[in-house]
Amino acid sequence: MVVGTTEAASLLNISAQRVRVLLQEGRIQGARKINGRTWGIPLYKGRPRISGKKRGPKPNWSPQRHCGKNTLHFNRLNIEKNRKLKKIDPQAKDEYVLSAQRGSKILAKGHEIEINGPCRIVYQPDKPHSCGATVWIETLATVTVFNFDGTVERVDSRWVWEEEEMWKINKKSIEEVIKVC
């Protein structure tokens, strides 16, 4: 996966200007200019790989999990509530059971979610998410949320370029970056 300077800064919890300085010094491994203007920075285990300098203190990049990912949650309580309501009144309106969040902010709610790219399902009973969930889906891709009333909401990714847009920039340059990764 390849990201730009703003996305890399967000992942490292540093400013975009500091990322550009690291790029000028050649300290971000695998970074390449795409189209002569935009930087393509490969990710290793979800973060850019930064090489240290010979002098001075060692870099202390924040090891904490970054909350900028789109996190998809299942509302177990609403699922149970819908099941009970349907037994009493088959015409009752269903509650939303899926939500797309970034950090603790709910971006969209619905009954169906389409993930437009790679994702991972996380189960951590000993280390729950900030909202208390023990199972959730994380993705860097754009997510489309479908609601019961027929509306569609799109939750764009803050980090990843859309693959289609990436190929439009310059397919040959992108292929070179992917080979380096």
Average pLDDT over residues 17-27: 91
- Classify strands 119-123 and 135-139 as parallel, antiparallel or unpaired: antiparallel
The sign of the dihedral angle between the CA atoms of 105, 107, 109, 112 is negative
pLDDT of 165 above 50: no
Q: What is the pTM of this model?
A: 0.50
Please report which confidence band the pLDDT of residue 17 belongs to, taking 50, 70 and 90 as the band edges: very high
Among the residue ranges 65-69, 144-148, 152-156, the one predicted with the least confidence is 65-69
CA of residue 72 relative to chain centroid, distance = 11
CA distance 98 to 116: 16
- pLDDT the model gives residue 134: 86
- pLDDT the model gives residue 23: 92
Average pLDDT over residues 154-177: 51
pLDDT of 176 above 50: yes
Q: What is the pLDDT of residues 70-105, one digit of tens each?
A: 888 888 888 889 889 888 888 888 888 888 887 778
- Does residue 37 come out as left (phi exceeding 0), alpha (psi in the -120 to 50 range) or beta? alpha
CA distance 13 to 7: 10
- pLDDT the model gives residue 61: 61
Please report which confidence band the pLDDT of residue 31 belongs to, taking 50, 70 and 90 as the band edges: very high
pLDDT of 169 above 50: no
What are the domain boundaries of the chain? 2-51+161-180, 70-155
